[in-house]
Amino acid sequence: MTAPPTSSALQCPLCGQANQCAMAAGQAPETCWCMATPVAPEALAQIPVEARGKVCICPLCAQPRPVPDSREGVAAGPAPI
């Protein structure tokens, strides 16, 4: 009831592409790509809270990659007065 219409167990919540999740497709969990591919913690952090633990992300989004412009997040610089 609270799920947005665009949400799908087969879709990556980050990019909207097919997440290729074996479990969502009704196959054995051990056949899922996530068993062989480590998921970057920063990728997991981008998953909407309501989707965490329910929806898998896709292999591309799971790969760790540098973020060139991190506008949001914890500010590491000196705080302005």
Shorter beta-carbon distance to Zn ion: residue 63 or 70: 63
The answer to whether 18 touches 57, Cβ cutoff 8 Å, is: no
Check binding of 43 to Zn ion (CB under 5 A): no
Cβ 19 to Zn ion shortest distance, Å: 7
Among positions 49-68, residues that touch Zn ion (CB under 5 A) are: 58, 61
Cβ atoms within 10 Å, residue 19: 27
CA-nearest of 63, 43, 22, 30 to 9 is 22
User: For residues 58 and 51, what is the distance between their CA atoms, to the nearest angstrom?
Assistant: 13
Candidates 14, 47, 51, 56; binder of Zn ion (CB under 5 A) is 14
Shorter beta-carbon distance to Zn ion: residue 14 or 55: 14
Residues that bind Zn ion (CB under 5 A): 12, 14-15, 58, 61
